[in-house]
Amino acid sequence: MKKVIEIVNVIDTTKVYAELSDPNSGGICVFIGAVREFTNNEEVTALEFETYKTMALKEMEKIADSALKKWSLNKVIMRHAVGEKGVEEPVVVVGASSAHRDACFEACRFLIDTLKETVPIWKKEKFKNKTVWVSAHP
Amino acid sequence: MNVLFFGITKDIVGGSEISISDVAKPLNVAGLKKRLIDSYPEFSKLNSLAVAVNNEYADDNVILTGNEEIAIIPPVSGG
């Protein structure tokens, strides 16, 4: 399977190497996004993610397909978590494997940057006394 | 016509789906956005407001018949 596109409740980061490993790949590049404890010096207790799943999977497919067209990749993975996630928990994993490192480094950056721009997933930051939908307001 | 809401727009309208009936036809995406902003002024304060028709981002001039799956997409913030 060349592409793995998933929205899951819990991300297992230990399986990503096996998923991207390929006899023709000399390079594997992975980006993992995780929950950070502080936003603008305010303590975050958790992030809550929700998605419009059917559309999100479709948009993720499009991004993976563009990456496969732009670079010579053997495997591509895009996996995002939903639900409430605590500090240090992984929330997104994207990665690519290719014969040489340039293609997978560039593709990996493209995968996460484009996901953040177009995929219908929303995160709410939970602080001690309030919650905020990220990026909703100027 | 039924409209789905996510993220902050779900909080603004107070539910994940509402039915909109009294709209002038033909209604396009721009008209739906205007209708929502008129009913819920909070929508005009958002960084962006997109509409998806059948799981695809739709331009303002796309005509809506009510048989589509219509969703309101506030600024996305995945990752």
Residue B63 included in any domain: yes
**Residue of chain A nearest B77, judged by CA positions:** A122
Task: Test B78 with A121 for CB contact under 8 angstroms.
Answer: yes
Q: Tell me which residue of B63, B64, B55, A126 sits closest to B73, measured CA to CA.
A: B55
User: CA-nearest residue of chain A to B49?
Assistant: A136
Residues spanned by the domain of B29: 2-73
Residue in chain A closest to B5 (alpha carbons) equals: A52
Residue range B22-44: mean pLDDT, rounded: 92
Whichever domain contains B12, its CATH number is 3.10.20.30
Where residue A59 sits, what CATH number does that domain have? 3.90.1170.40
Give pLDDT tens digits for B50-60.
999 999 999 99
User: Residue B66 domain-assigned?
Assistant: yes
- Whether the pLDDT of residue A129 is over 80: the answer is yes
- In chain B, positions 17-36, which contact chain A (CB-CB < 8 Å)? none
Give the pLDDT of residue B22. 76
From the list B7, B73, B78, which residue is nearest A92 (CB)?
Answer: B78
Instruction: State the Cα–Cα distance between residues A94 and B79, nearest whole angstrom.
Output: 10
pLDDT band at B23 (very low <50, low <70, confident <90, very high): confident
**Structural domain for A38, as ranges:** 3-133
| Cis preceding-peptide flag for B26 (omega within 30 of 0) | yes
| Closest residue by Cα to residue A72 from A101, A45, A49, A103 | A103
Phi, psi of B76 (to 5 degrees): -80, 155
Q: How many CB pairs under 8 A join A and B?
A: 78
Residues of chain B with pLDDT > 70, as a percent, come to 100
Does residue A69 sit within a domain? yes
